[in-house]
Amino acid sequence: MKGIKSITAVFLCVTLLGSCGKDIPTETVNGAITLTLGLATTKDDSSIVSRAEMSQDELLSTAVIKIYNGDFSGLIRDYSNSAKPQTIYLPCGDYRVDVMAGEVVKTAPVMASWEQKSYKGSSPFTVTAGQITPVQVVANVNNAITKITFDQTIADAFAAGYTLTIGLSDTDVAQQLVYSADNAGEEGYFIADGFEPSLYWKFSGELKDGTAFVKSGEIPAVEQGKRYSMNLKYTEKNGTLSFTLYVDKSTDDQEEEIIFEPISTGLVKSSAYEIWAGHATVHADVDETEYGAENIYFEYRKSNTEDAWVRIDANRDSEGIYSQTITGLIPQTEYEYRLLAPDPTTKEITVIGSPLNITTESAPTIPNASFEDAAKDIGSSKYYSFYDPASSIPANQTKWWDSGNMGSTTVGSSYTICDPDTDNYKEGDQSARLHSEYVVIKFAAGNLFSGEFAGLEGTKGGKVNFGRPFTGRPTGLRLWVKYSTSTVGRVDGYPDDDPVTKDVDYDRAQIKIALGTWDYRTYGGTSNCPVQVNTTDVSTFVDFNTDISTIAYGSLILQGDASNSTNVWQQITIPLDYKDQTAYPSYIIISCAASMLGDYFTGSEESELWVDGMELLYE
């Protein structure tokens, strides 16, 4: 499943066969359980998160199962997965099953490790005559976990090579791990059994003046399943080493647990982020020993209708795990879907269980996407703005689009770089024409963007606040474009990886779309337009391919050439590449430039870019 983390998990299927003495070998035995280890999922309270095949995983081969009387009076069964009988007979009554897996069950476990985790979980169950009762056990990480980091004051005060050694013993290296500047922040795992075990630590280093420095201490009564985070600081005031210790008691997150659960066949609820405006991913478990692995299908239709069911193949992700992405859905519409598999007896394709429902997301649109509404005097009489308070469309009555006209026309209204064009258009009665100009002393690229022009930086450049509030998840941007250009005549700069030669290289236009969660307090803009770019400061230029707050990004470059081949209207689609399909955006940025390197004041004064008929796609 694209964009979703894979989480390791196993299950314990406990089937209770109660008969209270009938067909049971002795009078005292009233029921039986069968134990089977296999594949399953990690899930939270609301929905399944993901799946992973583990048939070769060591967790399965080494898992240990112990059954106790419910009153804690003693251990009555003890099995490894490989040695357990297929059927275990038990009297009717209350019990508890414990499951351990991972490093702790090995004959000679590693007490301190960077990688090897141990898991433990328990669950009560009751053997009841005449009933089949499933039992689920969630096994969480059972290690004492360390995470050591070094404050900058350590690097400032000490020569390279300082370390912190931490372990269950202050002398036995087999129970210790060593942290250095290279592995700071990694997690270490300790099998901390026994009565109130301690973690012993020792910092060793050499101050930059050559003085040896050693400090040690103890963290008493550490607990299994807890993370102990330490950040070490050196205080120059009195030459001491101090550290803050934080105990994280929430280590049972999704990646830190395995689940032991019963085998089942049926639909599995999709996570919210898997349901988009135009498509949705659905899941199912199938017991392949009963239904096989062939001819597994999903069917779907609009809810509360008599529409015909649409059948699609189910993809086999791993043993017993199936999914499929349903496409062509309508935004803000409820659908029902169901699972089909061959009947075990007749082999006829049969509906399994009850349908589930999903409701697709909304599909927000772009205001004034064909640039039909434009007016003067609302911002300045020198240029047109692409909104109109008198528009009959409420979304077009306020500014959503802006350009650099405010900056370029400070020396005169003839220096506009973005205007409506009633002679060239593909939809309605006009398009937006972006044309690059040399404005007295600086090259200005024709531009149009979602956001606001934020002012000039003297005569050296300007500031733009990009972005508008937006919460949809489109899959792409479709629009009409036309581009006419020539060779680059102005070169003030360019990126290191994109050199330009004056009068040789042709200018290029670029259209960009990005979705993200940019915080204006970090990116310098406003709460309404969060990302500020200052053309006099390249450190403010955002690379949406690597930016951590960007969720999805797409870009199109129109390359000029000697034949001026792009000087015709063409409809293009810019797909959005989602870096994180589980996240939701809070802003959208759409930026069009007649000269791609306009931020560097580089381009051709003959460059003209027309854009029209923009449409967000939800496929």
DSSP state string for 488-528: --B-S---TTS---TTTSBPEEEEEEEEE---HHHHBS-SS
- Type of residue found at 280: A
Let me know: does 11 contact 262? Beta carbons within 8 Å: yes
Dump pLDDT digits (tens) for 523-581: 999 999 999 999 999 999 999 999 999 999 999 999 999 999 999 999 999 999 999 99
- Concatenated DSSP letters for 451-476? EEEEEEETTTEEEEEE-EE-----SE
Burial state string for 229-252 with b = 16 or more CB within 10 A and e = fewer than 16: bbbbebeeeeeebebeeeeeeebe
Q: Residue 156: in which H helix or E strand, if any?
A: helix 152-157
Give the domain ranges of the chain. Answer: 10-141, 144-251, 264-359, 419-429+443-617
- Concatenated DSSP letters for 203-261? EEEEBTTS-EEEEEEEE-S--TT-EEEEEEEEETTTTEEEEEEEEE----SGGGEEEE-
pLDDT of residue 492: 93
Quickly name the fold that domain 419-429+443-617 has. Answer: Jelly Rolls (2.60.120)
- pLDDT-based confidence at 84, cuts 50/70/90? low
Bridge partner residues of 570 (DSSP):
481
Q: How far apart are CA 6 and CA 49, in angstroms?
A: 8
Dump pLDDT digits (tens) for 250-304: 664 444 455 555 557 899 999 999 999 999 999 999 988 889 999 999 999 999 9
pLDDT of residue 20: 36
Mean pLDDT rounded to a whole number for the chain: 85
Rounded to an integer, the average pLDDT of 477-484 is: 98
Let me know: does 581 contact 3? Beta carbons within 8 Å: yes
Dump pLDDT digits (tens) for 420-478: 999 999 999 999 999 999 998 889 999 999 999 999 988 888 999 999 999 999 999 99
Q: Residue 318: in which H helix or E strand, if any?
A: strand 315-318
Rounded to an integer, the average pLDDT of 145-166 is: 91
CA atoms 270, 274, 275, 278: torsion sign = negative
Quickly name the fold that domain 264-359 has. Answer: Immunoglobulin-like (2.60.40)
Q: How far apart are CA 84 and CA 552, in angstroms?
A: 50
Asked if residue 41 has pLDDT above 60, the reply is no
Residue keyed to tokens 């009489």: 381
pLDDT of residue 28: 44
Equal fold, 144-251 vs 264-359: yes
pLDDT of residue 131: 62
The residue among 379 and 593 whose pLDDT is bigger is 593
| 195: number of Cβ within 10 Å | 5
pLDDT of residue 575: 98
pLDDT of residue 5: 27
By three-state DSSP, how is residue 56 classified? coil
pTM for the structure as a whole: 0.63
Residue 559 C-alpha from the chain's centroid? 33
pLDDT of residue 238: 56
- pLDDT-based confidence at 43, cuts 50/70/90? very low
* Of residues 137, 54, 58, 63, the one with CA closest to residue 319: 54
Lowest-confidence pick of 186-195, 324-333, 465-474, 566-575: 186-195
* Of residues 619, 581, 586, the one with CA closest to residue 49: 581
Mention the CATH class of domain 144-251: mainly beta
By three-state DSSP, how is residue 307 classified? coil
Asked if residue 30 has pLDDT above 60, the reply is no
pLDDT of residue 15: 40
565: Cβ contacts below 8 Å, ≥ 6 apart = none
